[in-house]
A and B are shown apart, each in its own frame.
Chain A
Amino acid sequence: MSRRAPVITGTGIICAAGCGVAAVWESVRANRSGLGPLTLFSSPRYANHLVGQVRDDVDELAGNVRGSRSDKLSWIAAHEALAAAGLESGFGKINSARLGVMLGATVGGMLGTEKFLTALLRENKHRFGPLRFHECAGAADLCAKKIGALGPVATLSTACSAGAMAILAAAELIEQGEADLMLAGAGDSLSRLTLNGFGSLLLLDPNGCRPFDARRTGISLGEGAAMLVIEAEETAVARGAQILARLAGWGASCDAFHATAPQAEGRGALAAMQRALERGRLQPSEIDFVSAHGTATPDNDAMETRALQKLFGEAVPPVSSVKRFFGHTLAASGAIKAVLAVQSLREQAVPGTPGFEIADEKLGLEPVKEFRTQPVAHILSNSFGFGGNNVALVFECADFKSKISNLKPEINSTALTKKGFAVLGIGAVSAAGNSLAEIAVTFRNGGAVTSAFAVPAVLPHTQAKVYAAGEFGAEQFIEPAKRRKLSRLQQLALVAARKSFSPEFAKTVAPEKICVAVGTGLGSLNDTAAFVENLILKDERAPRPSLFTSSVHNSLASQIAIELNFSGLNSTPIQREISFETALWQGMTELASGRAELALVGAADELNQDQLAAGMRWGWWHEASPEIRPFAGALENRERPLPGEGGAVVTLGHAENSASPLAFVSAIRIGRSENQNAETEARWILETLARDGILIGDVDLLLTGANGLAKLDSFYRAVAEALSKLAGKNIACGAYKHACGEHHSASAFGFVTAVGLVHDEIAPEFCTADKTVLPGGCRTVVLFTFSPTGTKGMCCVCA
């Protein structure tokens, strides 16, 4: 069987250098910077800074879709990419179940949230509207809905490498056979948060960035989006699509060094580039051009140069940084560079480095100054994010006789999970308790106890009922000097990670063989809000850098890597209710390929007063809301289950290397549905189990996100009934949210519950509808999560 090579058949782009690939390429050809004054919002502190702001008619260009500015930018680029791939009027023979979306994002709807906070703090007005579009997952949900994708749909938030990480993940899905066509890329808008955040880190150059220049002092912030249509070569050829370029190699690593500063020697950057070359079976000498991350901060350019010099020795190929064309567009950066790499390969020409004038003798590297034609077969494109989250991608000219597709496949979906992976350790922080024993007691008691949480007193209500995680032992697990720099959410995730991981596991495992994928639905909301509130109240005086670093979503996963020294792939999925399942997929993918021997996967979310107040205003909760009782059908209409917080991290390893695993996990899959149809979902679950060799007859329990919402609970029950029919036996329907509350990372707690069930620590009758007793015990549990936006995830946990 040949490897399913990912090829690129469409590209789209919008940024300060233009709207559309042709317009941006024209700017590149003319070496013309698109930086200019900031007009999108007023910024007293940075009014005179050059930024990469996109043209004014974003709303119209996006066809007036509803969403945040980031969502709109993403859709504009996606629309162009789809049209370029000949898919504007539909997907023809492409099965929508094999069609997916994988995006990167860091800012999401922050610009709108800032408007909400400004109205609240300046005028004492609650304009909650923009909060509906706060989430980073918005763009992926929007694109998936627009194109009717029913395959894997998710968002990854690894700061400035997120766009490249999304492309990497899309390539994995194509190679595994999970999808035939992926829309991949990223979009991020400008925001006060990021402008002041980078400012607080003294990383902005007011006059425009000067990559690799001796006088460089920092970045120019930009906004934009870029998208690629990535297909399996075989299906692209079958539909007669024009192949624009190939994705020949991809690699990720973590510096495991510092929250914002890169490791000075470029250790992690080098590892990512080496992994990308290995993946493509390429020698460094085969790289004709490097599209550098080249942000123009003193540290990044020095570090990146060292890494390039280590990789290529004396023969560093031509290098450019395109950052001054459109600014540093954060998550979008890696995707924009990918689109430009494809264009370079098609045009056999490379961009220059606007902003560069004087070579830095300390670097010993002079980038390409101006646009020029040159033969290019392979381009290496680097993206490095805060937390040391590095991704390198290699693009290959379409005409180049590819050796990739003749290689043995690295993995396929069967090999991914056939034996399943061992669950070596679990760590949970929740309202139900922080150990399996405590959680078991909570289930026996019928659920966790809610507590009061103060919300802004301008509302008729002054407190909300919540499932708070309470004290979770941060003092015991994190030293004071480190603790004071971490947000509550970061502490929560780090405690869960430390609990799940024993140094014993890693005795014979190298740090680069340990990956971390810890997701979140909303990130460190409280520190993020505190940073922005400070800006509003003090007119941007003295922005606080430590609050900004906490607001970076992937600080969740990267701080675990920094603390425990893990330098494998590091990622933070941010896909609402399936953030955990996406993290699990990433971790299991790394294990299945052999790139990782251990994977820490999980998810965490925290409560926030503005989020609670918004929910109360929208009629979701009130002071007398009932506690969550799944399957009791108490909630109807506008009412929502009471919110909670918490996190869980599990350490996974290869089954054959594990002496006494707690459980096994297999059959990981993420997907999307257009509507709630129980038969469809039951077949999806059956198919996923079957391809990993799990007999449906062995399944005892379907553990779901049932939460007391009558409609959702009856849907989950119907799925269990449909599954029972297919199995020819009764499969019970279970739930866990009465123990942890409703939040985006709840299914991570669900996973821990599943381990407790198959381990006989939690009795099934405390989880099941109608208190069903399982006489034969509970040996195999399917964890199934369905998000209101239609994305879904599952995995199988067995004893």
Chain B
Amino acid sequence: MESLIEELKTKIIAGFALEGVTPADINPDEPIFGTGLELDSIDALELVAILESDYGIVITERAVADKAFASLRALAEFVAANRT
């Protein structure tokens, strides 16, 4: 799980071109969106696209996304359980 968390951190930093942010700056137990990373709801939807292209997970409902993005740890668990 920890390695998946690190992998997702890297994807988020690269996917959103977060300048000056290192994986260590991201707390895996904080919400991913609406916090210090300055990621907003469009980024959340971009992450939905990343999950689909990289892990084959198709999300079509916002409620599912909201739950999965509660924290990076929650996301890692979601990815582990649903990846194809």
Contact = CB atoms under 8 A, between A and B. Distances in A.
B35 to A, nearest CB: 13
A615 to B, nearest CB: 32
Contacts of B17: 480, 484
B49 interface: yes
B41 A261 contact: yes
Nearest to A549: B42
B59 A481 contact: no
B7 interface: no
B16 A542 contact: no
A544 B19 contact: no
Contact of B16 (A199, A484, A538, A545): A484
Interface string A241-264: 000000000000000001111000
Contact of A546 (B46, B52, B62): B46
B42 A260 contact: yes
Interface residues of A, number: 24
Contacts of B59: 202
Given A298-B62, A481-B38, A542-B53, A202 B16 contact: no
B80 interface: no
Contacts of A538: 53
Contact of B42 (A204, A206, A480, A485): A485
A259 B44 CA distance: 14
Contacts of B65: 202
Given A200-B49, A202-B48, A480-B19, A545 B61 contact: no
A549 B46 CA distance: 11
A351 interface: no
B1 to A, nearest CB: 24
A485 B40 CA distance: 10
A549 B44 CA distance: 14
Contacts of A334: none
A10 interface: no
Interface string A477-514: 00011001100000000000000000000000000000
Given A202-B48, A202-B60, A546 B42 contact: yes
Contacts, number: 50
Interface string B30-53: 000000001011110110111011
Nearest to A204: B60
A683 interface: no
A541 interface: yes
Given A217-B61, A480-B19, A484-B16, A542 B52 contact: yes
A608 to B, nearest CB: 22
A202 B53 contact: no
Nearest to A45: B58
A476 to B, nearest CB: 15
A200 B19 contact: no
Contacts of A368: none
A544 B46 contact: yes
Contacts of B19: 480
Contacts of A549: 42
Interface in A535-580: 538, 541-546, 549
Given A202-B60, A202-B65, A541 B53 contact: yes
A201 interface: yes
- Of B42, B43, B62, B65, the most chain A CB neighbours within 10 A belong to B42
Contacts of B61: 202, 217
Given A202-B60, A202-B62, A202-B65, A545 B38 contact: no
A485 B60 CA distance: 22
Given A481-B38, A484-B16, A484-B17, A201 B50 contact: no
Contact of A544 (B16, B41, B49, B62): B49
B42 A545 contact: yes
Contact of B46 (A204, A206, A258, A545): A545
Contacts of A480: 17, 19
A542 B42 contact: no
A261 B43 CA distance: 13
A543 B42 CA distance: 13
B53 A200 contact: no
A188 B70 CA distance: 38
A506 to B, nearest CB: 25
Given A200-B45, A201-B45, A260-B42, A542 B60 contact: no
A542 B41 contact: no
Nearest to B39: A481
Contacts of B60: 199, 202, 204, 206
B79 to A, nearest CB: 15
A11 B48 CA distance: 43
Interface string A207-223: 00000000001000000
A545 B62 contact: no
B60 to A, nearest CB: 7
Nearest to B48: A202
Contacts of B50: 542
Contact of B41 (A258, A484, A541, A543): A258
A541 B52 contact: yes
A570 B62 CA distance: 29
A204 B62 CA distance: 10
A260 B38 CA distance: 17
A202 B41 contact: no
Contacts of A261: 41
Contacts of A485: 42-43
A481 B41 CA distance: 13
B53 A259 contact: no
A412 to B, nearest CB: 43
A545 B41 CA distance: 10
B32 to A, nearest CB: 15
B45 A202 contact: yes
Contacts of A484: 16-17
A29 B48 CA distance: 41
A199 B49 CA distance: 11
A260 B45 CA distance: 12
B52 A259 contact: no
Interface in A445-489: 480-481, 484-485
A534 to B, nearest CB: 9
Nearest to B63: A217
Nearest to A480: B19
Contacts of B52: 541-542
A112 B59 CA distance: 29
- Of B43, B45, B59, the most chain A CB neighbours within 10 A belong to B45
Interface string A723-756: 0000000000000000000000000000000000
A543 B40 CA distance: 18
A646 B50 CA distance: 32
Contacts of B42: 259-260, 485, 545-546, 549
Contacts of A481: 38
A538 B16 CA distance: 21
B49 A542 contact: yes
Contacts of A202: 45, 48, 59-62, 65
Interface of A: 199-202, 204, 206, 217, 258-261, 298, 480-481, 484-485, 538, 541-546, 549
Given A260-B41, A546-B45, 11 more contacts: A202-B59, A202-B62, A202-B65, A204-B60, A259-B42, A484-B17, A485-B43, A541-B52, A542-B53, A543-B49, A545-B45
Q: Which 6 A-B pairs have the closest CB atoms?
A: A545-B45, A542-B52, A542-B53, A542-B49, A481-B38, A202-B62
30 contacts: A200-B48, A200-B49, A202-B48, A202-B61, A204-B60, A217-B61, A217-B62, A258-B40, A258-B41, A259-B42, A260-B42, A484-B16, A484-B17, A485-B42, A485-B43, A538-B53, A541-B52, A541-B53, A542-B50, A542-B52, A542-B53, A544-B46, A545-B42, A545-B45, A545-B46, A545-B48, A546-B42, A546-B43, A546-B45, A549-B42
